[in-house]
Structure 1
Amino acid sequence: MARIIPRPDHSHPRPREEPLYWHIATELLRELRDGTIPPGERLPAERQLAAHFRVSRETVRQALQILRRGGLVATDRRGSHAMLPGPTAEHVPSLVFPVGAQDAEPGRAAVTWEVPSPEHARTLGLAPRRPTLVHRYASAAADGSGVRRAVTSFSAVAVTEVPELARYRDRADGRASAELSRAYDWMRTAGLTLHHRDTITPLPPSVRVTRRVHDQWDRPLEITDLVVEAQRDALIYEFTLPAAG
């Protein structure tokens, strides 16, 4: 595949040897084009891009300026956004949160700020006894059958970088209802590309589904354990991906 480089600003002669910021602009454009950073979504902060590319924030700032000149990135008071043609965050269907939630059978949900289970803490890279945002969900059919219970623990990265999740910290007392159905959309709007991995384990007469989600830098975002207490229920998960380009 031919390498695509940003269009230079012809008002300034390009030096014979590419400066570092030009190389970073090229790499960032590649990630925009291959969908690592989805079109229309907010780019990670300069400090995150600097850590990702292992350069200074000033180098990232110069690289973004090149892309802005070419109309590939736009910046406003909310941050920088990719402007390449393609589906935007608002039009790309996201997976339902939490795993196992069903519109046909509304469930009960609540959030707490507590120490997660040891397994969740290890997966999220949390220090022992460090609390985090924990979401609990339960639903059942009208006749009481098909009980589903899901417990989700969010990582420090998710709570820190996703404003909508951060706002729950001060009211995560386990009593107020919690509406986190758009949690994955919030993560994507915060500039995080989501990678889901679902593991289904039979535990007769129940089934356990474990979902792990990490971002484009392999940082853990959340882990959910869903237990379906039903012998005949089918677990159906639909994954919708936008067409390329």
Structure 2
Amino acid sequence: MARSTPHVSALTDGEPLYLRIASRLLGELRDGTVPPGERLPGERQLAEHFGVSRETVRQALEVLRREGLVATDRRGSHATLPGLPVETPASLTFPVGARSAGRGAIARATVVWEPPPAGHAEPLGLAPGRPTLVHRYWSASADEREVRTAVSSFSAVALSEVEELARYRDRADGRSAAELRRAYDWMRRAGLTLHHRDTITRIADAPSVRVVRRVHDQYDRPLELTELIVDAQQDALVYEFTLPAAV
């Protein structure tokens, strides 16, 4: 950074609590927890994250605003530290296993508002039988020798904080085409840091694999769960991904 923040550097135990919270928040901004230009979590979420009152968070944000490290507009507060925004890794496509365009594959995707498949509700923190946004994806290779089917369920947190996802509730009829390829980008733009865990297992007695992806945010709140089945009809199965070069 071109300059340090005099109010939040070299703090002591005798400093007011809001200055210590400002220092901790600044540390998270500097380490990229919230990329430059991205929206910060709301005051309530920050208060829960740091274990303080919303008033303390409000005072801490004001300190960072005065130093030009945070800007606030009608959409909320944004980190303004210099640096390039962190791009979504190319491997983190939605849904996991979705094919890139130009490979001669055919695909279709729909969304429906219904209770999620068995095994999805508990990891997402949903009560049994509670409906949510469910995305279904199907694709086949040009020669139809490889078929992929994926079902994704979203948590109440994802739908409450990501406006673009919430809009799909009214058109989730299970028939209309749904384009959610930018789902992870929408989550990041809503101020969520994404952590994902992919579990890959071979399906016994079949040339197929199951990939289960679980995604949560910086507060360990579940966002999405996807179960992908790849039926390759061949002995060799390839799980391909790409990571962008560092800049």
Q: Which residue of 2 aligns with 1:189?
A: 189
Query: Pick from 206, 217, 220: which aligns with 2:219?
Result: 217
Are the equivalent residues in 1 in contact too, given 2:88–2:185 (CA < 8 A)?
no
Are the equivalent residues in 2 in contact too, given 1:206–1:227 (CA < 8 A)?
yes
Q: Please state how far the C-alpha of 1:210 moved relative to its aligned partner.
A: 0.6
The separation in 2 between residues aligned to 1:26 and 1:15, in whole angstroms, is 11
Q: Which residue of 2 aligns with 1:87?
A: 84
Cα RMSD for the two superposed structures: 2.1
Q: Which residue of 2 aligns with 1:45?
A: 42
Structure 1 residues 238 and 15: CA distance shift in structure 2, 3 A = closer
Name the SS for the 1:225 alignment partner. strand
Are the equivalent residues in 2 in contact too, given 1:6–1:29 (CA < 8 A)?
no
- TM-score, scaled relative to structure 2: 0.89
Structure 2: stretches of 5+ with no match in the other structure = none
Q: Please state how far the C-alpha of 1:141 moved relative to its aligned partner.
A: 1.2
- Which is further off, 218-227 or 115-124? 115-124
Structure 1 residues 101 and 208: CA distance shift in structure 2, 3 A = same
User: Following superposition of structure 1 onto structure 2, how do residues 99-114 of structure 1 map, counting pairs within 5 Å?
Assistant: 99-103=96-100, 104=103, 105-114=105-114
Are the equivalent residues in 2 in contact too, given 1:146–1:233 (CA < 8 A)?
no
- Give the counterpart letter for 1:133 in structure 2: L
The separation in 2 between residues aligned to 1:190 and 1:234, in whole angstroms, is 33
Structure 1 residues 30 and 15: CA distance shift in structure 2, 3 A = closer
The separation in 1 between residues aligned to 2:216 and 2:12, in whole angstroms, is 39
Do structure 1's residue 236 and structure 2's residue 240 form an aligned pair?
yes
Query: Pick from 91, 96, 104: which aligns with 2:93?
Result: 96
Name the SS for the 2:113 alignment partner. strand
Structure 1: stretches of 5+ with no match in the other structure = none
Q: Which residue of 2 aligns with 1:76?
A: 73
Are the equivalent residues in 1 in contact too, given 2:106–2:142 (CA < 8 A)?
no
Structure 1 residues 206 and 16: CA distance shift in structure 2, 3 A = closer
Q: How many residues align?
A: 235
Task: Report the identity percentage.
Answer: 66
Do structure 1's residue 30 and structure 2's residue 27 form an aligned pair?
yes
What does the per-residue CA deviation read over 1:163-186, in whole Å, with 9 as the maximum and x for residues that have no partner? 000000111111111000000000
